[in-house]
Amino acid sequence: MATSPSTPDQASLEALRLRRAELRQSMSALELAMAEPAPIGHARWAGRVQVALVELSADFREHVEVTQGESGVHSDVLAAAPRLSGAVGRLAREHVQISHLVDDLLARTSGPEPSVDQIRRLGTTLLGLLVSHRQRGSDLLYEAYEFDVGGET
1-56 per-position pLDDT tens digit: 344 445 666 777 777 788 889 999 999 999 999 999 987 768 899 999 999 999 99
Q: Is residue 2 part of a domain?
A: no
Q: Is residue 5 part of a domain?
A: no
Dist. CA 56–CA 150, nearest whole Å: 36
For residue 7, the model assigns a pLDDT of: 63
Q: Is residue 15 part of a domain?
A: yes
Dist. CA 91–CA 86, nearest whole Å: 9
**Are the CB atoms for 29 and 126 separated by under 8 Å?**
no
For residue 88, the model assigns a pLDDT of: 97
Polymer length in residues for the chain: 153
For residue 8, the model assigns a pLDDT of: 67
Closest CA to 45 of 93, 143, 149, 117: 117
81-116 per-position pLDDT tens digit: 999 999 999 999 999 999 999 999 999 999 888 899
Dist. CA 20–CA 47, nearest whole Å: 25
Q: Is residue 125 part of a domain?
A: yes
Q: Is residue 105 part of a domain?
A: yes
Residues with Cβ < 8 Å from 151, sequence gap 6 or more?
A: none
**Are the CB atoms for 64 and 100 separated by under 8 Å?**
no
- What are 111-120's contacts with CB under 8 Å, separation 24+? 113/42, 114/42, 114/43, 114/45, 114/46, 116/38, 116/42, 116/45, 116/46, 119/34, 119/46, 119/49, 120/34
Domain that holds residue 66: 10-75+82-148
Q: Count how many domains the chain has.
A: 1
- For residue 120, give the CATH number of its domain: 1.20.120
Q: Is residue 27 part of a domain?
A: yes
Q: Is residue 68 part of a domain?
A: yes
Q: Is residue 153 part of a domain?
A: no
119-151 per-position pLDDT tens digit: 999 999 999 999 999 999 989 988 888 733 223
Dist. CA 25–CA 18, nearest whole Å: 11
For residue 2, the model assigns a pLDDT of: 42
19-33 per-position pLDDT tens digit: 889 999 999 999 999
